[in-house]
Structure 1
Amino acid sequence: MKTARIIYNPTSGREAFKKELAPVLERFEVAGYETSTHATTSEGDAINAARTAVKRGFDLIVAAGGDGTINEVINGMAEQEYRPKLGIIPMGTTNDFARALCIPRDIKKAVDVILSDQSMLLDIGRVNDQYFMNIAGGGKLTELTYEVPSKLKTMLGQMAYYMKGIEMLPSLKPIRAKIEYDGNIVDEEIMLFLISNSNSVAGFEKLAPDAKLDDGYFDLLILKKANLAEFIRIASLALRGAHLEDSHVIYVKAKEVKVDTDEKMQLNIDGEFGGMLPGEFKNLQQHIEFFVPDKFVESQKS
């Protein structure tokens, strides 16, 4: 019998997964998995839980929670020589990575994806001594993903981010940065930078429209110095994916990126605070095997 370890955040999604745990376990058992669980209790707990699952040789790890939980599980797996296949049950507010993988938010349908046994080796990113599966970035506006109170996210969902973003607009200012990517250098004042592994960033699905999760490249987006009116205009363009041709935007593909700044700039890793810059980013091509639905497989071919 195969073995599975479900690592879940009991508070995500208004505790919806915890309420459905018994039927989920039954489905895995019927499918031939001897299944056990670990409920996270604090920040970083999922990292240790994933490391333990790898050490014990589980065939499958399932991460049930938001992007933060998935990020921690990946950080617990990424450095290991043996890495089990990874399934995702999205239970967070934004679920950027699950959206990029076309995994349904419905628990039963997400389990269907895992038990269909279709998987692909996908890229992850490394920055300094941390790993990310979806996005890393810097700039004041990138901080809103972890500055929004969790209760407000639970109550308002995606709208909470928009409200916080509007609140932060007056405080936005450019910072001089030196960004090196695959032998090229950008050295000027910027509003923000995003290093994306997928096309789904903070709920926007068109910020990096050409992103592929298995090609070994990041999609690097840099927003150069802009005044408030220009910034709002570009943000409006980004909602419909029309921002890439704007003169304030640099959009390229890169395998490795280095970022340093004249002033302090926080690093956002998969929607959470990841320390301070500088940072060295490297794409680890096809590093972890994820269970994915047919829709995602087809999207990677186009």
Structure 2
Amino acid sequence: MTKSVSVLTNPTAGGGSAPSAAAAAIARLRERGVTVTEIEGRDADEALELARKCVDAGTDALVVVGGDGMVSIAWQALAETGTPLGIIPGGTGNDHARLFHIPVDDPVAAADIVVDGQIATIDLARAGDRWFGTVLSSGFDALATDRANRMGWPQGPMRYYIAMLVELAQLKPIPYRITLDDRTIELEATMVTVGNGTSYGGGMLITPNAKLDDGLLDITVVGSSGRFKLVRLFPTVYKGTHVELDEVQTFRTRKLRLEASIPGRSVHSVRDAPVTSYADGEFVGQLPIEVEAVPGAGRVIVSEPLQ
């Protein structure tokens, strides 16, 4: 049984619903006899600093209330420390919670898992110096995220949908160079994703066969698809059946190097523009980037053994 935890909250997660989820979860933890230390950073940097201090002080677990962005902060503090992660879902996507079979709409039940659950040791992925648990994206989806982040209106998911439509209208194939453990591939693709876990974007199973304990990364490459094919592909991603389509290739590797640029896409000139990448929904950097699987780097509190 977990006896003392540090609870890290993002007050803006889930459209501002995280505080109510945190209050319910913290009340339940204390009702169950758990000593709770509450922490809340004013920004991501302060949240990470506070999380690291709690880990260094020997907390039994770092529990985050929020979405995948908060879990991403937690991984930066927890990776390779042995301290486990607990999750109280309170965000929009909640892909980590889905990955670990934690109820996304019941903070009390999620708190009970923190108290009664078992600790699973999992692989994490590292892109440069940044850890992630689910998926790293580049290409069309990252471009849509870039555009959505620059838009002041509308708020919520609609902003991303509009950004996707704009990017779809400008869709062009991107020349990639992908260096895997055993080969180098050069091709034109719409998007390339790297999965430690199976899903991103609130349940899109982009790397549906990824395993959390195999020491490998799953790569999904969507080829040089036209707009119609890309629109047709999106519904299949929620079932993970897109990997059966002719325009999709999959690979497995322990390490990879991803290189790409978009011809003539620079904002200020006709020069090639960089391709950005996001992991766990958070900005990582511009390509080229190197990614590796790190076996056993993470520990997480779950209700049942992971399959």
Give me the TM-score of the superposition, normalised by structure 1. Answer: 0.88
Give 2:82's aligned amino acid.
R
Cα contact 1:93–1:154 (8 A) shared by 2? no
Structure 2 CA distance, aligned partners of 1:53 and 1:121? Answer: 20
Structure 2 CA distance, aligned partners of 1:35 and 1:241? Answer: 39
Question: Does the C-alpha gap of structure 1 residues 119 and 153 become closer, same or farther in structure 2, counting only changes over 3 Å?
Answer: farther
Structure 2 CA distance, aligned partners of 1:258 and 1:133? Answer: 18
Structure 1 CA distance, aligned partners of 2:91 and 2:155? Answer: 9
Instruction: State the 1:152 CA deviation.
Output: 7.1
Structure 2 CA distance, aligned partners of 1:276 and 1:243? Answer: 26
Question: Does the C-alpha gap of structure 1 residues 73 and 241 become closer, same or farther in structure 2, counting only changes over 3 Å?
Answer: closer
CA deviation map 1:242-284 (0-9, x unaligned) = 3212232111222111111244110111112211111111111
CA deviation map 1:150-204 (0-9, x unaligned) = 997875x5x6544432232112211211101121221121111000122222124
Structure 1 CA distance, aligned partners of 2:208 and 2:86? Answer: 24
Give 2:116's aligned amino acid.
S
Structure 2 CA distance, aligned partners of 1:148 and 1:215? Answer: 34
- Aligned twin of 1:59: 60
Question: Does the C-alpha gap of structure 1 residues 198 and 169 become closer, same or farther in structure 2, counting only changes over 3 Å?
Answer: same
Give the fraction of aligned pairs with identical amino acids, expressed as a percent: 28
- Aligned twin of 2:123: 123
Task: Give the number of equivalent residue pairs.
Answer: 293
Cα contact 1:49–1:76 (8 A) shared by 2? no
Say which is worse superposed, 230-239 or 36-45, in terms of deviation. 230-239
CA deviation map 1:123-154 (0-9, x unaligned) = 11101111111111211322434644699787
Give me the TM-score of the superposition, normalised by structure 2. Answer: 0.86
Cα contact 1:143–1:268 (8 A) shared by 2? no
Structure 2 CA distance, aligned partners of 1:160 and 1:262? Answer: 25
Cα contact 1:51–1:76 (8 A) shared by 2? yes
SS in 2 for 1:194: strand
Question: Does the C-alpha gap of structure 1 residues 139 and 49 become closer, same or farther in structure 2, counting only changes over 3 Å?
Answer: same
Q: In the alignment, does 2:246 pair up with 1:247?
A: yes
Q: In the alignment, does 2:77 pair up with 1:76?
A: yes
- Aligned twin of 2:84: 85
Say which is worse superposed, 132-141 or 16-25, in terms of deviation. 16-25
Question: Does the C-alpha gap of structure 1 residues 83 and 240 become closer, same or farther in structure 2, counting only changes over 3 Å?
Answer: closer
- Aligned twin of 1:202: 201
CA deviation map 1:61-96 (0-9, x unaligned) = 1011111111011112225xx331110011111111
Cα contact 2:28–2:108 (8 A) shared by 1? no
Give 2:123's aligned amino acid.
D
Structure 2 CA distance, aligned partners of 1:214 and 1:283? Answer: 10
Question: Does the C-alpha gap of structure 1 residues 15 and 232 become closer, same or farther in structure 2, counting only changes over 3 Å?
Answer: closer
Q: How does 1:263-302 map to 2 (within 5 A)?
A: 263=262, 264-294=274-304, 297=305, 300=307
Instruction: State the 1:205 CA deviation.
Output: 4.0
Cα RMSD (Å): 2.4
SS in 2 for 1:214: coil
- Aligned twin of 1:7: 8
Q: In the alignment, does 2:177 pair up with 1:167?
A: no
Q: How does 1:155-234 map to 2 (within 5 A)?
A: 155=156, 157=157, 161-234=160-233
SS in 2 for 1:24: helix
Say which is worse superposed, 18-27 or 280-289, in terms of deviation. 18-27
Instruction: State the 1:103 CA deviation.
Output: 0.9
SS in 1 for 2:11: coil
Structure 2 CA distance, aligned partners of 1:274 and 1:246? Answer: 29
CA deviation map 1:192-223 (0-9, x unaligned) = 10001222221244322212222222110011
Cα contact 2:93–2:200 (8 A) shared by 1? no
Residue ranges of structure 2 left out of the alignment (5+ in a row): 263-273
SS in 2 for 1:94: coil
Structure 1 CA distance, aligned partners of 2:248 and 2:22? Answer: 45
